[in-house]
Structure formats: C-alpha cells, structure tokens
Structure 1
Amino acid sequence: MESKIEILSTVTIQNSPDLYKVVDSLNRTLKEKDLMFGLALDKDDDSKAVFTIYRT
C-alpha cells in the first residue's frame, strides 16, 4: 500500500516563537481529516517561516 502526500498550500510568514504551537494543535485536531501541517525556517531568512498544508 502506497502512501501519497499532496501539498495543498505553502505560504511564507513572519516567524514567531509560539508558531509551532499552532501547527501542533492543527496536526492533533485535523489528523482524522487526512490533513497534516508543517513548519520550517525559510532557507534565506531566519525571521521568516514556511507553513505548508498537506493531504495524506
């Protein structure tokens, strides 16, 4: 059985120390809806974060 992950949306936003809490809450709440959320620092600017929404 193959698991396919589809990127639904990606946006670059201002980084915040508590941003990971929002992503964690979204992942815990919406995993039954086959949604997953990711957060990473922007490669070029540490003051920005890249927020991604996936369908699993």
Structure 2
Amino acid sequence: MERKIEVLSTIKVEYSPDLYKIVDILNRTLKKEDLMFGLALDKEDQKKAIFTIYRT
C-alpha cells in the first residue's frame, strides 16, 4: 500500500548557512514519529528559505 506525504506546515525564514543542520537533526530524531523536514531556497528571493514539515 502506498503512503502519501502530507504537508503539515510551511514557513519562509531568513536563510542561514546552518539551517540545514537543524533540518538534519530533526529528520534523524523524529523519523520514527513519521515526520520529515525539508528546506529549500525561495526561488523569488535567494535570501529566504522555505522550511516545510511533512507527515510520512
């Protein structure tokens, strides 16, 4: 049976080179809780990052 990925929340924040470290530790720590975290640069403003929380 295929599981869907559900977006729980998205927020736009100021980009920082260390943001990926937060996303990495959240993914490692909360994987067992069926949560996944994503980070992407905003295509319109490279000074912003989009942080997303998913339920897997």
- TM-score of the two chains, using structure 2 as the length reference: 0.98
- Structure 2 segments unaligned to the other structure (5+ residues): none
Trace 1:1-56 onto structure 2 (pairs within 5 A): 1-56=1-56
1:31-54, Cα deviation, whole Å (9 max, x unpaired): 000000000000100000000000
- Structure 1 segments unaligned to the other structure (5+ residues): none
Task: State the AA in 2 paired with 1:10.
Answer: T
* Partners of 1:3 and 1:47 in 2: CA distance: 34
Count of residues in correspondence between the two structures = 56
Return structure 1 stretches of 4+ with deviation > 2 angstroms: none
* Partners of 1:23 and 1:2 in 2: CA distance: 25
Report the identity percentage.
Answer: 73
